[in-house]
Amino acid sequence: MAAEESVYSVCGMCSVRCPILVEKRNGEASWIMGNPHSPLKGGLCARGAAGIALERDTERPATPLIRVGERGEGKWREASWEEALDYVADRLKEITAMHGARSVLWSDRGGPFVDLHQAFMRGLGSPNYCNHDASCARNVQHAALSVLGMGRKLVAYDFRNAKHIILQTRNILEAINVAECNAVMDALDKGCKLSVIDIRSSVSASKASNFFMVRPGTDYAFNLAIIHELITKKLYQADYVAKYVDGFDALSAFVQPCTPEWAEKETGIPAERITAFAQELAESAPNVIWHPGWMVARYNDSFNVCRTAYIINALLGSVGVKGGLPLVNTPKDVGRKGLKKLVDLFPKPEEKRADGVGWKHPQFDAGPGLVNLAYDAIATGDPYPVKAYLCFRHDPLMAMPDPEALKRKWEALDLLVSVTFSWSDTAWHSDVVLPLSTYLSRESIIASKAGLKPQFFVRKRAMQPLLNTRADWEILCGLAARLSDVNPEMKKLAFTSIEDIWNYQLQDTGVSVADFAAKGFVELADAPLYREVEAYPTPSGKLEMISGKWSKANIDTLKPYTSPARPAPGEFRIAFGRVGVHTQGHTVNNPLLHEQMPENVAWMHTSRAEELGIADGDMVEVASAGKSAGRMKAFVTECIHPEALFMVHGFGHRLPVESRAIGRGVADHELMPGGLEVWDRSGGGLSLQEHFVTVRKA
């Protein structure tokens, strides 16, 4: 039977947001595939294919809920949408009347649709918009800002034209972005080399011609030795460096002691392999991509690891270059007008941010701030009281270390609201749960994507929600309408249809809503555009080996290397990562994906397992600072560094409302006591792998 209708939309099973085509039968989504007009060519990852199971799952918040018991007790009363939105709006009115608009904090998952969220916060008059990124890519973002003067997403990874791709702390074939996976696989088919630097052998490592299993926490030493070799052996692109690099002499002097022999002692990688690797890199220059990483909230020097990745790219002449890291184009770069921003409906609040970003920490990107520091403001009232927290598509109790400590920091909140499409620890702990429609049953605002060919794209509703859930715009515009009696400015955001929002956004762009019908996205250029770089937006106009901006904040960007602690006898360093079939913690209860992988296992080296009398498949108990986080199966293998204990993040759920996920596997973030205070002062990221655990046979 032919499908009734197809809808172009956008996947929402992870933060990549691939373009999709949804087929419908009997008014419901019946089949999802990658958008055939896009580089996905119809393909999708396993999680993307499990979207219909999410929509049909009833083990998710089915209607708005207002807490009646204690926080986290799981006692709720069901409310209508009218009642729940009135309740939240009334509480916000009371709190802002007493403590000012700045007492409201927001966090979300970042990404292309946040204009609406930022507009809501500005409309309220609060500067405290944050995203999740202190626990993800902030160190990469700040490294990019410190070397290139611009954010990490303003350069692309031109995998298809590369001759050598280096993945460091980046498992591209399992931590999936479908278009990137396809591009890397196509490049490998054409003879591009792949090198992987990891603490364990991942699927990506299995495709590599060079695999370097470094001692956990020593990547900075590895990179400094590569820089040493590129400089002392004159393997760098001298013309490029003369034109684009600032601080080369200081860098040369700094890496002088960082010989491959020195790095061998730190990393465990033989000196001659490091020397040979540097030579190989030079042979492919400038078509080299040394990936600066994605999830790098790991160590106290992760910022420097990412910085040195950008520096190596700079020495090899690949920044700003085809087949390397070319600059992406915004609509303006291709002579087009960008979307009209919702955030521009309101003036920027003059108030300082509660997290100190932009004033106490002038070097950091004030856009999404650092949410962990905003939690400190909740707990201390310094620099001012923060009393309401709207947690949107974000589960900090799973995404941040040490959930019990975080709950204590939140005790001073008068209102905690969670907007989510699945149950989460944060939703369970909230005062109000506003159930979001899944991405199949909601629309989103139009998004703009910079790239070699910039585009606008839109998520359309493929079906009506099966449960009593609402779209993000319906929730926020509904709150805005209710807040306009005390804050007339908010009327501007009280849209009553998504078309009105889309038409507002598309004003003067030369694109209309109807233009999305053909492919689901509208390209703003006919062909990829590689722009010649004249100057970088750094203080020196060049790629900065020593960052002018960070120096002003008294931070040394050529930081001396500190050797990471070795685990005490019987201990392991905790390490974590992703797996192809799950997204973070929120797909573990998805009926289809749960079937694929119901629990995580503890990867440990054969020699360490023998020491502890543990055999492959044994149940083990994992603890940190004497506190057990639960039991899981041991996966005993030669394919991991002996100092590390690795597990996939997102398991160890404890909520009774998730019958499939409950009690399966262990939660890595419960093994990081005091972890909220352990973060990289120069890069802003949490240092989630600066923690040690013990394991015993259960």
Residue span binding ligand MGD (CB under 6 A) among the ranges 21-29, 151-159, 290-298, 554-562 = 290-298
Could you say which residues in the range 469-488 bind ligand MGD, by CB under 6 A?
none
Q: Which of 7, 11, 370, 543 binds ligand SF4 (CB under 6 A)?
A: 11
Whole-number Cα distances in Å, 424 to 14, 397, 612: 15, 8, 35
The yes or no reply on residue 47 touching ligand SF4 (CB under 6 A) is yes
The yes or no reply on residue 18 touching ligand SF4 (CB under 6 A) is yes
Which residues are at the interface with Mo ion (CB under 5 A)?
136, 295
Query: What number of other Cβ atoms are within 10 A of residue 42's Cβ?
Result: 12
Q: Which of 104, 119, 145, 176 binds ligand SF4 (CB under 6 A)?
A: 176
586 binds, among Mo ion, ligand MGD, ligand SF4, none (CB under 5 to 8 A by kind): ligand MGD
The residue (of 173 and 245) whose beta carbon lies closer to ligand MGD is 173
The phi, psi pair for 582, rounded to 5°, reads: -135, 150
The phi, psi pair for 29, rounded to 5°, reads: -65, 130
Q: Which of 229, 668, 680, 690 binds ligand MGD (CB under 6 A)?
A: 668
Distance of closest approach, residue 136 Cβ to Mo ion, in angstroms: 3
Q: Which of 14, 281, 354, 480 binds ligand SF4 (CB under 6 A)?
A: 14
The yes or no reply on residue 17 touching ligand SF4 (CB under 6 A) is yes
Binding mask 636-655 for ligand MGD (x = CB under 6 A): ----------x--x------
Distance of closest approach, residue 18 Cβ to ligand SF4, in angstroms: 3
The residue (of 406 and 506) whose beta carbon lies closer to ligand MGD is 406
Work out the angle at residue 80's Cα, subtended by the Cα atoms of residues 410 and 393, and round it to the nearest 5 degrees.
40
| Residue corresponding to tokens 């002692």 | 265
Could you say which residues in the range 380-439 bind ligand MGD, by CB under 6 A?
393-395, 399, 401, 420-422, 424, 436, 439
Residue span binding ligand MGD (CB under 6 A) among the ranges 119-127, 198-206, 473-481, 547-555 = 198-206
- Amino acid 627 reads K
CA distance 627 to 144: 38
The phi, psi pair for 264, rounded to 5°, reads: -60, -40
**Whether 313 contacts 194, CB under 8 Å:** no
Using DSSP bridges, classify how beta strands 627-637 and 601-605 pair: parallel, antiparallel or unpaired: parallel
The residue (of 136 and 354) whose beta carbon lies closer to Mo ion is 136
Tokens (6 digits) for 339:
């979307």
Q: What residues are paired with 322 via a beta bridge? A: none
Work out the angle at residue 650's Cα, subtended by the Cα atoms of residues 645 and 652, and round it to the nearest 5 degrees.
80
277: nearest Cα among 324, 229, 318 = 229
Query: What number of other Cβ atoms are within 10 A of residue 5's Cβ?
Result: 11
The residue (of 176 and 334) whose beta carbon lies closer to ligand MGD is 176
The residue (of 183 and 614) whose beta carbon lies closer to ligand SF4 is 183
CA distance 264 to 212: 11
| Residue corresponding to tokens 């009327």 | 491
Closest residue to ligand SF4 in the complex (CB): 48
Closest residue to ligand MGD in the complex (CB): 577
Which of 672-687 are b and which e, b meaning 16 or more Cβ less than 10 Å from the residue's Cβ? bbebbebbbebbbbbb
Q: Which of 16, 167, 601, 602 binds ligand SF4 (CB under 6 A)?
A: 16
178 binds, among ligand SF4, ligand MGD, Mo ion, none (CB under 5 to 8 A by kind): ligand SF4
Using DSSP bridges, classify how beta strands 415-420 and 432-435 pair: parallel, antiparallel or unpaired: parallel
Residue span binding ligand MGD (CB under 6 A) among the ranges 27-35, 210-218, 361-369, 553-561 = 210-218
Distance of closest approach, residue 606 Cβ to ligand SF4, in angstroms: 33
**Whether 197 contacts 214, CB under 8 Å:** yes
Element (H, E) at 183: helix 178-189
The yes or no reply on residue 219 touching ligand MGD (CB under 6 A) is yes
CA distance 468 to 145: 43
Distance of closest approach, residue 599 Cβ to ligand MGD, in angstroms: 16
44 binds, among ligand MGD, ligand SF4, Mo ion, none (CB under 5 to 8 A by kind): ligand SF4
| Residue corresponding to tokens 């609040």 | 349
The residue (of 13 and 288) whose beta carbon lies closer to ligand MGD is 13
Q: Residue 189, exposed/middle/buried by CB under 10 A (0-12, 13-18, 19+)? A: exposed
Query: What number of other Cβ atoms are within 10 A of residue 242's Cβ?
Result: 9
- Using CB under 6 A as the binding criterion, the count of chain residues that bind ligand MGD stands at 54
The residue (of 14 and 84) whose beta carbon lies closer to ligand SF4 is 14
CA distance 516 to 8: 9
Distance of closest approach, residue 20 Cβ to ligand MGD, in angstroms: 13
CA distance 696 to 698: 6
Q: Is the dihedral of CA 91, 94, 100, 103 positive or negative?
A: negative
Whole-number Cα distances in Å, 315 to 153, 466, 632: 20, 54, 45
Residue span binding ligand SF4 (CB under 6 A) among the ranges 171-179, 472-480, 538-546, 631-639 = 171-179
The yes or no reply on residue 199 touching ligand MGD (CB under 6 A) is yes
Residue span binding ligand SF4 (CB under 6 A) among the ranges 67-75, 175-183, 203-211, 494-502 = 175-183
The residue (of 45 and 251) whose beta carbon lies closer to ligand SF4 is 45
Distance of closest approach, residue 383 Cβ to ligand MGD, in angstroms: 25
- Amino acid 366 reads A
Residue span binding ligand MGD (CB under 6 A) among the ranges 27-35, 122-130, 196-204, 554-562 = 196-204
Bond prior to 383 in cis (omega within 30° of 0): yes
The residue (of 9 and 430) whose beta carbon lies closer to ligand SF4 is 9
The residue (of 133 and 431) whose beta carbon lies closer to Mo ion is 133
Q: Which of 48, 286, 369, 435 binds ligand SF4 (CB under 6 A)?
A: 48
Query: What number of other Cβ atoms are within 10 A of residue 525's Cβ?
Result: 17
Which of 291-300 are b and which e, b meaning 16 or more Cβ less than 10 Å from the residue's Cβ? bbbbbbbbbb
Q: How large is the C-alpha radius of gyration of the chain?
A: 25
Distance of closest approach, residue 10 Cβ to ligand SF4, in angstroms: 8
CA distance 287 to 240: 13
Distance of closest approach, residue 159 Cβ to Mo ion, in angstroms: 20
The yes or no reply on residue 45 touching ligand SF4 (CB under 6 A) is yes
Beta strands in 554-658 (DSSP E): 571-577, 601-605, 619-624, 627-637, 644-648
Distance of closest approach, residue 52 Cβ to ligand SF4, in angstroms: 13
The yes or no reply on residue 558 touching ligand SF4 (CB under 6 A) is no
Bond prior to 326 in cis (omega within 30° of 0): no
In the complex, the residues that contact ligand MGD under the rule CB under 6 A are 12-15, 109, 132, 135-136, 168-171, 175-176, 197-200, 202, 214, 216-217, 219, 293-295, 298, 393-395, 399, 401, 420-422, 424, 436, 439, 575-578, 580, 582-586, 646, 649, 668-669, 688-689
Q: Which residues bind ligand SF4 (CB under 6 A)?
A: 11, 13-14, 16-18, 44-45, 47-48, 176-178
